[in-house]
Amino acid sequence: MQEYFIIIISAVFINNIVLSQFLGICPFMGVSKKLSASLGMGGAVSFVLVVAGFITWALNTYLLTPLGIGYLQTIAFILVIASLVQFVEMVIKKFSPSLYKALGIYLPLITTNCAVLGVAIINIQKEFSLGKVMVHSLSHAAGFTLALVLMSGIRERLEDADIPESMRGVPIALIVAALMSISFLGFSGLI
């Protein structure tokens, strides 16, 4: 039980996927302007991340490793993720057109979100069991959503702030991310 707890705390706070591992920076910068959009993006990425974590683990354990073709990992994983995103897109389109509309272009872009492939690879590298893979993926997804929502809350206020002209937009967002990252460093003594 304690092991799982450590995985959760470390994935959400200490090794936060955006602020300390630099995975998924593109949506972090691109979709963090509005709180509602960032929640939707966080939800969609979380879903794909967890399902992809499960499928890639199963693929690696039952197919790639027994056949001794572990070097095909990158190709196999990216294909799984790409088709998964396509599948999720079709399902959401069919059952909830309103959510589909809200997510818009960001849905297909999840394929090239390095957070998804990154977590899948970390799962394999750490040789987790299935239970740990699920907990690990879920906590990283939560960490991603947390960072995205915090960031969008700050950026909504930045809209009204008096910022030097050349710092506006992405530069100031990166500085804000740096400050958030410093405060997340404070968690590093936790475990």
Partner 1 sequence: MSLTNEFTKGIIRENPLFRLLLGMCPSLAVTTSVDNGLGMGVAFSVVLLASNIVISAMRSIIPNSVRIPAYIVIVATFVTMIDLLMHAFTPALYTALGIFIPLIVVNCIILGRAEAFSGKNPVLPSIMDALGMGAGFTLALVLVSSFREVLGAGTFFGQTILPENIPAIMMILPPGGFITLGCLLALLNKIQKKTA
Residues that bind partner 1 (CB under 8 A): 19-26, 29, 71-75, 78-79, 82, 111-114, 117-118, 121-122, 125, 164-167, 170-175, 177-179, 181-182, 185
Torsion of CA 180, 38, 92, 59, to 10 degrees: -10
Q: Which is nearer to partner 1, 2 or 162 (CB)?
A: 162
| Distances from the Cα of 95 to the Cα of 37, 98, 100, 107, angstroms | 20, 9, 9, 15
Q: Which is nearer to partner 1, 19 or 49 (CB)?
A: 19
Task: Look at the block and give the residue holding tokens 């959760």.
Answer: 8
In the complex, the smallest distance separating the C-beta of residue 62 from partner 1, rounded to whole angstroms, is 21
Q: Where are the alpha helices (DSSP H) in 60-169?
A: 65-67, 73-95, 97-103, 106-109, 114-125, 130-158
In the complex, the smallest distance separating the C-beta of residue 25 from partner 1, rounded to whole angstroms, is 4
Q: Which is nearer to partner 1, 16 or 38 (CB)?
A: 16
In the complex, the smallest distance separating the C-beta of residue 135 from partner 1, rounded to whole angstroms, is 19
